[in-house]
Amino acid sequence: MMDEYEVNSTGETAENITENIEENIHDTDTDEMIENAREILAEEEEKPETPEKKTSPLSGFFDIVSIIASAAIIVAISFLFLFRTVGVSGDSMYPTLHDGDRLILSAFVIQPRGGDIVVTCQPSAYSYVESTLVKRVIATEGQTVDIDFTEGVVYVDGVALDEPYINAPTHEPEDFTEPVTVPEGCVFVMGDNRNRSTDSRSARVGCLETQLILGKVFLRLTPLNKFGSMK
């Protein structure tokens, strides 16, 4: 028995027509993809190259100026809030400090300790006693100071101090006549030039309030030949 197939007017079967359509669709899609790829490549080749930016010499100069200006601002702010500078007047701290020395203070002194060199702004009732003093802390609150003026030895809580920084033994009593216990919130100070210093031994100065201490001396700025940290 002969199989029957549908045929179109050209005599092709439906199965042959379907195969031809699928082949034509496949070929058409491939051609379109290839053509699109060629167009994209052509467009990329036609794009002009972006010229490299040339750095102007002035641009580098302005960058350097900006860095220097920023550094100067940081230093200025640091000195405004963290440090202070003061000058030494007189010889009460000789030989450690000399008249005319320029010092840098740390503005943050949470609690002064024995041996620290500090600057105070405590006012005095006496016009001839400067309100700003540079002295060395001998004792802090609660400690007791006693001085043997014959031997020139200073005692804190009964222990003799080793003081290699002084100019001469402490023989000048000023108004000091008996042991002194440092009040709360205060320090007992003396100059390193013990016999030429008006300090806590004198009733004109007495113990200094810690809240009126401007800062601790940590660096000598000038003269340059003595530039360095202070102890």
Q: Among all residues, which ones are annotated catalytic?
A: 92, 135
Count of other CB atoms within 10 angstroms of residue 93? 25
d(CA 88, CA 103): 8
Q: 73 is written with which tokens? A: 């601002």
Q: 12 is written with which tokens? A: 């092709």
The DSSP string of 122-138 is ---SSTTS-SSEEEEEE
d(CA 80, CA 158): 41
| CA neighbor of 136 nearest in space, from 221, 217, 225 | 217
The DSSP string of 185-214 is TEEEEE-SSGGG--STTSTTT-SEEGGGEE
User: Looking at the chain, how many residues does it have?
Assistant: 231
Burial class of residue 88, CB neighbours in 10 A (0-12, 13-18, 19+): buried
d(CA 16, CA 14): 6
Place of tokens 């092709």: 12
